[in-house]
């Protein structure tokens, strides 16, 4: 947590820059600096109300690898992985 109801997402390793965010009236957050500046952060909940993941400007942030039944950034090609 930061001053003035702010929030900052930081990597566990501390190897990269954090993302400072400000709270919005609708419950979302807006990035206020860096390459994410102006992007919205939303908490996406599962059917049971639990937090499924965070969505930061189309980037899905999770605590664990993407589940087979959950959101996968960019989608999954039905033909699988292959060379270009």
Give the pLDDT of residue 13. 77
What is the pLDDT, as a whole number, of residue 75?
Answer: 74
Mean pLDDT score of the chain, rounded to an integer?
83
Segment 42-58 mean pLDDT: 87
**Residue 70 tokens, joined:** 């959950």
Q: Whole-model pTM? A: 0.67
Structure confidence by residue, pLDDT tens digits, 21-35: 999 998 889 999 988
Q: What's the sign of the alpha-carbon dihedral 33, 25, 10, 67?
A: negative
pLDDT of residue 11: 80
pLDDT at 18 over 80: yes
Spatial CB neighbours of 28, under 8 Å, sequence gap ≥ 6: 40, 41, 42
User: Running DSSP on this structure, what letter comes out for residue 79?
Assistant: T
Task: Quote the radius of gyration of the chain (alpha carbons, Å).
Answer: 15
């Amino acid at each position: 947590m930061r001053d003035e109801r702010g929030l900052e997402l930081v990597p566990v390793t501390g190897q990269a820059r954090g993302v400072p965010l400000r709270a919005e009236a609708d419950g979302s957050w807006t990035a206020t600096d860096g390459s994410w500046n102006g992007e919205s952060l939303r908490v996406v909940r599962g059917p049971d109300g639990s937090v499924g993941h965070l969505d930061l400007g189309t980037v899905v942030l999770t605590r664990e690898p993407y589940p087979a039944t959950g959101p996968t950034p960019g989608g999954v090609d039905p033909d699988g992985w292959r060379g270009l």
